[in-house]
Amino acid sequence: MADISDRRARRRAETQAEILDIALDVMAEEGVAGLSLATVARRLGVRPPSLYKYFPSRHAVYDALFKLGQEGYLAAVRAPGEPGLRGMGASLEAGARWIMDNQVLAQLLFWRPVPGFTPSPESYAPALAIHEHFATLIRDAVRRGELHPDAAREEGLALAASLIAGPVSQQLANEPGATYEEGRFTRLVPRLPAVFAAVYPPP
Amino acid sequence: MADISDRRARRRAETQAEILDIALDVMAEEGVAGLSLATVARRLGVRPPSLYKYFPSRHAVYDALFKLGQEGYLAAVRAPGEPGLRGMGASLEAGARWIMDNQVLAQLLFWRPVPGFTPSPESYAPALAIHEHFATLIRDAVRRGELHPDAAREEGLALAASLIAGPVSQQLANEPGATYEEGRFTRLVPRLPAVFAAVYPPP
DNA sequence: AGCTTAGGCTAATGGTAGTAGCTCTAGCTA
DNA sequence: TAGCTAGAGCTACTACCATTAGCCTAAGCT
């Protein structure tokens, strides 16, 4: 985007990234809604008002993190690149792993923990791409005869989204410390494609 | 507990209940983590420090609400009183309805949106009863030959919990305004017993 | 009837987000 | 290279918040 030769713009972008990095640390320690710009400023070695040169408000920091999160999660679920039901399983697992590795961002994305914060349309955009990604995988699985055509309808997509949201939600709320491997609930993720296929068996 | 004839104790309990009521309103408007005791005091017609005669801290208010929520949810899922797989379906539906009717409490119970707040053991106690309620229903369904015995094992219970957490989580995060009837995700709840049975078909 | 104490208050502390407006200097432009 | 601009820091301030200390009044128990 910005001209690389512009030293000032580059430095500015670096500082912005550093602020977001520290903000993530603070949120991990204090809770997602516990982000304090004063704390961030202290760790950055700067007075609180100076942060407003980089972000117009606390919500703007959340919004930037929300966008980062959406992009990271989208990249994670797209990474496997496999098609069909197998691909769906691989995507779900990759997504669940990303969530356990980025719990703070995940809470910001999938719950609404910050009073008054709603993501801007621009930051929300990748969410649509994520939805489309899974819809494509499911349509593909239907085409291969791995799932009933109803799986690709509105209700099937809602069920697929709920199936993955379940274990992830439980894991984050009840055993947040665990890794993907250890988690009592994330352990269920590899079984989800079979569960989904049991609900929508091929005709 | 307290002697009913003690007028002072009764008045005190009434005021405490009124504070919790107002707190719920404020949380509904400002977000669960956005509860401000000053706002509660204003609506109660009192100065902020006076609230400390009833609750020792903001977290204590959350804790009381958490307990209320656990008790309410427990009562809701127990209400149907049916046994077996049918009873499980009835419990899940009753629970989902309660959640959509008490969204603020549900967020407090099932997510962890308030920085620094963890429920006291006493307030958390009903959660164990809720777990036990569903475990009993599932064991009963196994006994009736409606489910495979594995459904009553650790993993089966975790899956059951995840199955209900999924739609509810999606609904609260993405379509919080909807009622149980309208919700794109709560609509899936009646299908969950069948999904569960498909994963653990009787032997 | 008298005493205790519950339950209100004011004042104050130390924290927060955000604004106004000043200053200095890095680094772009002529 | 010299000069100017705007970016990025600062202090001072406002308006909130949670919480504590300590005072006062009157409800109501004994």
- For A67-95, how does the pLDDT look when each residue is reduced to its tens digit (9 = 90+)? 999 999 999 999 999 999 999 999 999 99
Whole-number mean pLDDT of chain A? 95
Mean pLDDT of B99-104: 97
CATH number at residue B148: 1.10.357
Distance in angstroms: CA A71, C1' D2? 46
pLDDT at residue A5, as a whole number: 53
| A46 shares its domain with A75 | no
Residue B7's nearest nucleotide, by CA–C1', is D28
The residue of chain B with its CA nearest to that of A34 is: B115
Q: What confidence tens digit (pLDDT) does each residue in A31-43 have? A: 999 999 999 999 9
Q: How confident is the model at residue A112 (pLDDT cuts 50, 70, 90)?
A: confident
pLDDT at residue A106, as a whole number: 97
pLDDT at residue B11, as a whole number: 92
Say if residue B17's pLDDT is above 50.
Answer: yes
| B17 shares its domain with B98 | no
Closest CA to A118 of A109, A127, A126: A109
Q: Name the minimum distance, in Å, from the CA of B9 to any CA of chain A.
A: 35
Say if residue B1's pLDDT is above 50.
Answer: no
Residue B19 is part of which domain span?
1-56
Do you know the residue count of chain A? Answer: 203
Domain end, chosen from A40, A56, A72, is at A56
Token reading at A108 = 């910001």
Q: Assign A47 to helix, strand or coil.
A: coil
Contact state of A31 with B199 under an 8 Å Cβ cutoff: no
Domain end, chosen from A11, A32, A56, is at A56
Q: How far apart are the first and last CA of chain B?
A: 50
| A82 shares its domain with A42 | no
pLDDT at residue B69, as a whole number: 98
Angle between helices B58-78 and B103-110 (to 10 degrees): 100
| B7 shares its domain with B97 | no
Please give the Cα distance from B198 to B42 (Å, whole number): 53
CATH number at residue A50: 1.10.10.60
- Reduced 3-state DSSP string for chain B: CCCCCCHHHHHHHHHHHHHHHHHHHHHHHHCHHHCCHHHHHHHHCCCHHHHHHCCCCHHHHHHHHHHHHHHHHHHHHHCCCCCHHHHHHHHHHHHHHHHHHCHHHHHHHHCCCCCCCCCCHHHHHHHHHHHHHHHHHHHHHHHCCCCCHHHHCHHHHHHHHHHHHHHHHHHHHHCCCCCCCCCCCHHHHHHHHHHHHHHCCCC
**A137 Cβ partners below 8 Å, 6+ apart?**
A83, A84, A85, A87, A88, A91
Please give the Cα distance from B61 to B59 (Å, whole number): 5
How many structural domains comprise chain B? 2
Q: Assign A81 to helix, strand or coil.
A: coil
| A67 shares its domain with A13 | no
| A131 shares its domain with A71 | yes
| A133 shares its domain with A70 | yes
| A165 shares its domain with A100 | yes
Domain end, chosen from B56, B76, B97, is at B56
Angle between helices B58-78 and B121-143 (to 10 degrees): 20
Mutate to test the interface with A, among B92, B169, B182 (most CBs of A within 10 A): B169
Distance in angstroms: CA A41, C1' C21? 20
Q: What confidence tens digit (pLDDT) does each residue in B112-168 have? A: 899 999 999 999 999 999 999 999 999 999 999 999 999 999 999 999 999 999 999
Q: Tell me the CB-side half-sphere exposure of residue B5, using CA atoms within 13 A.
A: 0
Closest CA to A31 of B33, B45, B189: B33
Q: Name the minimum distance, in Å, from the CA of B193 to any CA of chain A.
A: 11
| A180 shares its domain with A94 | yes
pTM for the model stands at 0.93
Give percent above pLDDT 70 in chain B: 98
Contact state of B170 with A173 under an 8 Å Cβ cutoff: no
Mean pLDDT of A7-21: 94
Q: Determine contact, residues B76/B164, Cβ cutoff 8 Å.
A: no
Nearest by CB: B170 against A31, A115, A165: A165
| A52 shares its domain with A68 | no
| B5 shares its domain with B42 | yes
Question: Rounded to the nearest 5°, which phi and psi values hold at A25?
Answer: -60, -50
> Which residues from A are below 8 Å from B165, CB to CB?
165-167, 169-170
| B50 shares its domain with B109 | no
